[in-house]
Structure 1
Amino acid sequence: MNKEEILEKSREEKKDEGREFVFHKGRKSGVTGMLILFVILAVFNLYNNHLETTYALVTMFFGYLGSESMGIYTLTHKKIDLLKTVIGCIVCIAFLVLYLNGVTN
């Protein structure tokens, strides 16, 4: 392939790498912010003995982690991404059960 063929193929994909970079950077900042807030709220809730709220936070966090890893696994097919998906979903479901048990009792 020569340079022109590569450029033409790239144009046909209709991807804007600059835009993808910006969205990736934004997602990374969002996840970092969410992680910081999660830690603050989880420590606060554990200190004040609000286990039900902590269970809800852990459920949401690992639900996000499992879902994100599943999306990555469908593209990469790496075993580590599959492992993160399985662990994230198992932990999410376990804490969801704990949360629902605490709310109904």
Structure 2
Amino acid sequence: MKREEILEKSRQEKRDEGKEFVLDKGRKSGVIGMVIIFCILAVFNLYNNRQETNSALIAMMFGYLGFEGLGLYKVTKRKLDLIKIIAGCVISISFLVIYLTKVSN
């Protein structure tokens, strides 16, 4: 292909690699922030004898990881991402059930 054909094809895709790079960096920062807040809340709950709310925190964290794996699997089709989906969802649902049973009693 000639240079002009490659440039024209790139323009037709309407993808902005710079914008995608920035969004990926933002997601990475968001995940790091979420993990830090999760750790702070988990330690706080353990210190104040509120372990029942840790189940909700764990359910939220693994639910996020499962759905993140879903987005990655749709693009990459890697087995590791599929395992991440299954493990994340199973752990999330398990801890959600634990939390709901503790709260309803």
Task: Provide TM-score, normalisation by structure 2.
Answer: 0.96
Note if 1:52 corresponds to 2:52.
yes
Q: Which runs of 5+ in 2 are unaligned?
A: none
Shift of 1:102: 0.5
Equivalent residue, structure 1, for 2:73: 73
CA RMSD of aligned residues (A): 0.8
How far apart are residue 4 of structure 1 and its match? 1.4
Is residue 60 of structure 2 the alignment partner of residue 25 of structure 1? no
The answer to whether the aligner puts 1:88 opposite 2:79 as a matched pair is no
Unaligned stretches of 5+ residues in structure 1: none
Q: Hey, which bits of structure 1, 4+ residues long, moved more than 4 A? A: none
Q: Distance in 1 between matches of 2:61 and 2:49?
A: 19
Aligned residues: 105
Q: Find the aligned partners of 1:36 and 1:87 in 2 and give their Cα distance.
A: 21
Give the fraction of aligned pairs with identical amino acids, expressed as a percent: 63
